[in-house]
């Protein structure tokens, strides 16, 4: 149970006297000053390293500046594709016809053959392992009918996710007119893997061989993510390169419950492909090593645990359980693990109807009174509007509460 795990460190705060404007919740100070070692000085224009579970950014440089993503563009392509699969509009078992446009696409290739059909799941592997630009065009045409319409979908998704420094002009990243920031990539990847965890195994595949119908057997191609071989705990996600972009990477790694994302843009400029890939791997390795030396993840309670009960004005039953939609925990500096305090803050101004899954509060984690993270709490069930007597009674109680509450 949550109370047993949190013990004396769990403080339940019900803000009965504070009516929150538009359902907003109070924020605690966010500045945290501890004694972690400085992040490594790396040969990259932009980097960001964060905890995937909580979203806490551990270190960054130039994270809000737009940059050429190169093949990191394919993350959005796959997001759109898995959206379609989840909606039942396409299937991994679909046989996808290969157009001349797809076959003729340059750069890194899966080597699909015009006039043939390829299984959609093979195209996914062709994108995640081979970074096949031809596979991206085939996917775009299968999902949206043409590349232009698919790219429109990509940009609409970017707006939906609130990506302010992101714009796509193709589904594969060949064009240097694509743009994304490290901060936007953090938002994109976090959403992608939470919404579509079924996609992650494809990003961990080290090699894949595809032979088009009627051709002689082809040798496997290998993932450009060298961390899959060299870094224990690495499980994704994507690399990218063009001459103007430099060597880019989004790396995912998990050790001892600490799930880290490292984003590097514009590294190893002017290097050869082999030297640039080695340099990029060393840069990301140094960032991951720094994170694991300096930080720990403290898990407090499992997902879907009830952590409090919120009043619902004018609602049937008058209350709703607050649950954590995912595991509750915080990422803190080494040595601070036993100092984590969790404060549950529930919105005291909820009014029916309330939908299951809607945000009704937060758990705020602090160390020595300084915030180190926060996680949302959501309604466990629907709360419909109550009968007329409930509505009248709650209206009177709220009016009296406002009339007699202390004025500042």
Domain spanning 44-267: CATH superfamily: DD-peptidase/beta-lactamase superfamily (3.40.710.10)
| C-alpha to C-alpha distance for 235 and 193, rounded to whole angstroms | 12
**Residue boundaries of the structural domains of the chain:** 2-32+298-404, 44-267
pLDDT-based confidence at 13, cuts 50/70/90? very low
Averaged pLDDT score across all residues of the chain? 88
Determine contact, residues 285/230, Cβ cutoff 8 Å.
Answer: yes
Whether 131 is a known active-site residue: answer yes
113-122 pLDDT, tens digit per residue, is: 999 999 999 9
146 token code pair: 């043409």
| C-alpha to C-alpha distance for 244 and 241, rounded to whole angstroms | 8
Nearest C-alpha neighbor of 378 from the set 281, 279, 297, 310 = 310
| C-alpha to C-alpha distance for 106 and 234, rounded to whole angstroms | 29
| C-alpha to C-alpha distance for 285 and 251, rounded to whole angstroms | 9
**What is the pairing mode between strands 234-242 and 246-255?**
antiparallel
The predicted model gives 216-243 an average pLDDT of 96
Candidate list 53, 71, 125, 253, residue with the active-site label: 71
Residue matched to tokens 């709220």: 398
pLDDT-based confidence at 315, cuts 50/70/90? confident
| Structure confidence at residue 36 (pLDDT) | 73
pLDDT-based confidence at 401, cuts 50/70/90? low
Determine contact, residues 170/152, Cβ cutoff 8 Å.
Answer: no
pLDDT-based confidence at 176, cuts 50/70/90? very high
Candidate list 74, 238, 300, 314, residue with the active-site label: 74
Phi and psi at residue 167, to the nearest 5°:
-155, 135
| Structure confidence at residue 27 (pLDDT) | 36
The predicted model gives 226-232 an average pLDDT of 97
Nearest C-alpha neighbor of 263 from the set 93, 75, 129 = 75
| Structure confidence at residue 394 (pLDDT) | 66
Pick the CATH number of 2-32+298-404 from 3.30.1360.120, 2.60.410.10, 3.10.105.10, 2.30.30.230: 2.60.410.10
pTM metric for this prediction: 0.84
Mention every residue, 6+ apart, whose C-beta is less than 8 A from residue 68. 176, 178, 179, 242, 244, 245, 248
CB contact burial 217-229 (16+ within 10 A = b; e otherwise): eeeebebbbbbbe
130-170 pLDDT, tens digit per residue, is: 999 999 999 999 999 999 999 999 999 999 999 999 999 99
CB atoms within 10 A of CB 289: 12
CB atoms within 10 A of CB 399: 10
Peptide bond into 237 cis (omega under 30): yes
Nearest C-alpha neighbor of 168 from the set 194, 149, 182, 186 = 149
Q: What is the percent of the chain where pLDDT is above 70?
A: 89
CB atoms within 10 A of CB 109: 17
Determine contact, residues 43/268, Cβ cutoff 8 Å.
Answer: yes
361 token code pair: 């509060």
Candidate list 99, 108, 131, 223, residue with the active-site label: 131
Whether 216 is a known active-site residue: answer no
18: pLDDT strictly greater than 50: no
Nearest C-alpha neighbor of 165 from the set 82, 269, 62, 55 = 62
pLDDT-based confidence at 268, cuts 50/70/90? very high
3-state SS class at 303 = coil
């Amino acid at each position: 149970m949550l109370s047993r795990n949190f013990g004396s460190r769990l403080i339940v705060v019900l803000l009965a006297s504070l009516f929150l404007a538009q359902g907003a919740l109070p924020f605690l100070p966010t500045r945290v000053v501890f004694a972690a070692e400085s992040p490594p000085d790396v040969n990259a224009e932009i980097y960001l390293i964060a905890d995937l579970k909580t979203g806490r950014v551990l270190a960054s440089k130039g994270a809000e500046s737009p940059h050429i993503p190169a093949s990191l563009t394919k993350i959005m392509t796959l997001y759109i594709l898995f959206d379609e699969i989840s909606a039942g509009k396409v299937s991994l078992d679909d046989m996808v016809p290969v157009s001349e446009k797809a076959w003729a696409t340059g750069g890194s290739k899966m080597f699909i053959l015009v006039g043939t059909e390829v299984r959609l799941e093979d195209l996914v592997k062709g994108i995640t392992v081979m970074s096949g630009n031809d596979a991206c065009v085939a996917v775009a045409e299968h999902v949206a009918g043409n590349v232009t319409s698919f790219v429109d979908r990509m940009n609409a998704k970017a707006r939906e996710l609130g990506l302010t420094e992101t714009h796509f002009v193709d589904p594969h990243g060949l064009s240097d007119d694509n743009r994304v920031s490290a901060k936007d990539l953090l938002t994109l990847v976090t959403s992608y893997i939470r919404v579509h965890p079924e996609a992650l195994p494809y990003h961990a595949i080290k090699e894949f061989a595809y032979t088009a119908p009627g051709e002689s057997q082809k040798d496997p191609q290998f993932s450009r993510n060298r961390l899959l071989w060299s870094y224990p705990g690495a499980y994704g996600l994507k690399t990218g390169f063009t001459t103007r972009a430099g060597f880019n990477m989004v790396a995912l790694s998990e050790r001892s419950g600490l799930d880290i994302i490292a984003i590097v843009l514009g590294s190893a400029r002017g290097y050869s492909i082999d030297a640039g890939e080695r340099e990029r791997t060393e840069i990301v390795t140094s960032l991951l090593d720094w994170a694991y030396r300096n930080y720990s993840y403290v898990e407090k309670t499992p997902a879907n645990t009830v952590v409090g009960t919120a009043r619902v004005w004018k609602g049937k039953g008058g209350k709703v359980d607050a649950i954590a939609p995912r595991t509750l925990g915080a990422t803190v500096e080494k040595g601070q693990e036993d100092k984590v305090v969790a404060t549950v803050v529930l919105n005291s101004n909820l009014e029916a109807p309330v939908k299951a899954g809607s945000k009704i509060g937060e758990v705020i984690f602090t160390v020595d009174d300084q915030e180190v993270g926060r996680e949302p709490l959501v309604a466990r069930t629907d709360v419909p509007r109550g009968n007329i007597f409930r509505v009248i009674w709650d209206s009177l109680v709220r009016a009296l509460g406002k009339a007699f509450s202390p004025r500042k």
